[in-house]
Structure 1
Amino acid sequence: MPRQLDVVLTASAPVIWGSTYIVTSQLLPPGYPLTAAMLRALPAGLILLLVVRQLPERRWLGRVFLLGALNFTLFWAALFVAAYRLPGGVAAVLGAVQPLIVLLLARGWLGTPLSRGALGAAVLGLVGVALLVLQPHAKLDPLGVGAALIGAGSMAAGVVLTRRWQPPVPALTFTAWQLTAGGLLLAPLAFALEPALPPLSVRNIAGFLWLGLFGAAISYFFWFRGIARLGPAAVTSFGFLSPLSAVVLGWLVLGERLGRVQTLGALIVLGSVWLAGRINRGQTRIAPPTTPETRAL
């Protein structure tokens, strides 16, 4: 039962992230991607810091800021560039290469065995996402494609290094450190590149609260907890649930059509997640305590 609970909580994170598109498009003021990302990460991180009341030791500061940059600053910035320059389906499919990158990085950095079954599940999930969101005659923009691939690589590296660098603190504390670091790095970008926010409406405030509380603090706590307990190879396939969640919410909330091809894609995504779970079920759940020496690159 504990492992099943870990799986459910970890999988709930990308399901929550799937709400980002609908919340951003329906509740937030348009044209402030970096500001929205900063307000999603920094307040959540600071609130969690007030809860845990523990700052990282000096020897962990460099790693925490690197993880914050990979998991939030670079990833979210690249994600927004890709979203603006590519059709949503293309951006989602390119982002879905992340599990493949995670498997390769985990093999090199963690020594995790690279099985054909895990690779097959990742490719199957990529096909499912393509059927789910990719539209015919989608146009490719080189800068947008590059940004999407950079974002996928950044998040993949963040996932693996989050597992490699496990400080002797609870997952909630580690989440607070990374969110705060990522938000601090996003702040100067937002202030330099975007105008000041207009007066916020109740809908705007509700959107920012959702993204900060559920889309950042709670979901990333579940995500980083899952990485520590289940390992990167086991959790990365859950990322396919994010575009699936976005499509389902669009169907339920916005009345968007869900055709036969999209339904097939959704079933393939669910099948790939199930297959990946079966393959990784025998892996060790919790790694032994780590030290800076054993986790050094």
Structure 2
Amino acid sequence: MSANPARHRPSGLAFALASALAFGGSGVFARPLLDAGMDSLHVTWLRVAGAALLLLPVALAHWRVARRRPLLVLAYGVFPMAGVQALYFAAIARIPVGIALLIEFLGPVLVLLWLRVVRRTRVSPAAVVGVVLAVAGLGLLLEVWAGMRLDVIGVSLALGAAAAQAAFFLLGDSMGEDTDPLAVIAFGSLVATVLLGVLAQPWTIPWGLLADPVTLGGFHVPGWAMALWLGLVCTAIAYFTGVSAIRRLSPQVAGGVAYLEVVTAIVLAWVLLGEALTPVQILGAAVIVTGAFIAQTAVPGTPALLEDTPAGGTGPTGVTAPP
């Protein structure tokens, strides 16, 4: 990857905000297709396939990345691109969009646990505080004292998405200065399209549903418009603006703005889907976001997972998290 451009806070913040808004709408715009009867794997495949098609020129322009870093490209396609999105969409088919995304954003907490338990890396007191807050917030969100009122399978799927998101942060640590993040995203979407294609079997997709109108916030919108929005805005544009933000801001600032994704998802789900959180869940949401943010900013640089990384490689907090 070429040297980072000079830091430019105004444009960087604009890109970071655009990325958070684009990512935050993915669950809300996927829900009408799920409610219409489309399987979550089919919706996920439509999203990554649309993104792969739109990012194909990037992959062709950076074809050497796949030859030089095949394991990174493969892992990126399996975990951040296929894993996070498939598990997240499966979760929102069973639990509210905002709650699923909040649980997924425990990814930075899982990164810290990985570093401490598996890598035996010393973590800062601030990181411990972040973990404690995030776990306490999760308890409030799930209202565990009432026997956890949410669907257990849905919560488990969301936790799986959090684990895949943690892999995303750790994989980001293996990108050196010679690797363009957008090229990795482009190839990752191609890998995810093939992988999910085997599972989703796109020839079994009820394509007729895309021609029928679906309901979103009281409006009737063609199903194909939802699928196009997911691939273009919630994936291709979201990743592009996210990478652009990171290259113009410090990782901590870009990561902080990325947490607006959670706020966006909760507000859109409330306005368009009628999914409101209880006061206790709102408190839990605030505690989770605070704890996960502290945990994310406390994550130190880690050794590359797949191969040695040149000095100055992007750290786990250096890439905006996917939904």
- Kindly indicate whether the alpha-carbon contact (under 8 Å) linking 1:129 and 1:243 is maintained by their aligned counterparts in 2: no
Partner residue in 1 for 2:25: 19
- 1:19 and 1:124 mapped to 2: Cα distance? 26
1:66 is the counterpart of 2:81: no
Flag the 1:118–1:10 CA change in 2: closer, same or farther, 3 A. Answer: farther
Partner residue in 2 for 1:173: 183
Q: CA deviation at 1:161?
A: 0.9
When the two structures are aligned, how many residues end up with a matched partner? 288
| AA partner of residue 216 (structure 1) | T
Q: Deviations over 1:40-93 (max 9, x none)?
A: 112212322214622234242232011110002222232334334556676455
- Kindly indicate whether the alpha-carbon contact (under 8 Å) linking 2:142 and 2:148 is maintained by their aligned counterparts in 1: no
Partner residue in 1 for 2:164: 154
Q: CA deviation at 1:162?
A: 2.2
Partner residue in 2 for 1:80: 89
Over the aligned positions, Cα root-mean-square deviation in angstroms equals 4.2
| AA partner of residue 166 (structure 2) | A
- Kindly indicate whether the alpha-carbon contact (under 8 Å) linking 2:175 and 2:181 is maintained by their aligned counterparts in 1: no
- 1:92 and 1:23 mapped to 2: Cα distance? 14
Partner residue in 2 for 1:185: 195
Flag the 1:142–1:130 CA change in 2: closer, same or farther, 3 A. Answer: closer
The TM-score, its normalising length taken from structure 2, stands at 0.68
- 2:257 and 2:128 mapped to 1: Cα distance? 14
Partner residue in 1 for 2:218: none
- 1:74 and 1:195 mapped to 2: Cα distance? 20
- Kindly indicate whether the alpha-carbon contact (under 8 Å) linking 1:128 and 1:269 is maintained by their aligned counterparts in 2: yes
Matches within 5 A, 1:80-99: 80-85=89-94, 91-92=100-101, 94-99=103-108
| Residue among 146, 149, 174 paired with 1:164 | 174
| Residue among 296, 299, 308 paired with 1:294 | 308
| AA partner of residue 246 (structure 1) | A
| Residue among 208, 218, 228 paired with 1:209 | 228
Partner residue in 2 for 1:117: 126
Matches within 5 A, 1:30-45: 30-45=37-52
Flag the 1:111–1:161 CA change in 2: closer, same or farther, 3 A. Answer: farther
Deviates more, 1:147-156 or 1:121-130: 121-130
| AA partner of residue 32 (structure 1) | D
Q: Deviations over 1:5-52 (max 9, x none)?
A: 556644653443321232122366432211211121122123222146
Q: CA deviation at 1:216?
A: 0.7
Going by fraction, where is helix more abundant, 1 or 2?
Answer: 1
Q: CA deviation at 1:175?
A: 1.9
Matches within 5 A, 1:238-249: 240-249=259-268
- 2:222 and 2:245 mapped to 1: Cα distance? 32
Q: Deviations over 1:171-227 (max 9, x none)?
A: 322221122221221112111795432252352122112211121112223445667
The TM-score, its normalising length taken from structure 1, stands at 0.73
Partner residue in 2 for 1:2: 7
- 1:112 and 1:9 mapped to 2: Cα distance? 33
| Residue among 48, 52, 68 paired with 2:55 | 48
Q: Deviations over 1:140-175 (max 9, x none)?
A: 666545433332212211221122233724332222
- 1:186 and 1:157 mapped to 2: Cα distance? 18
Q: SS of 2:37's equivalent?
A: coil
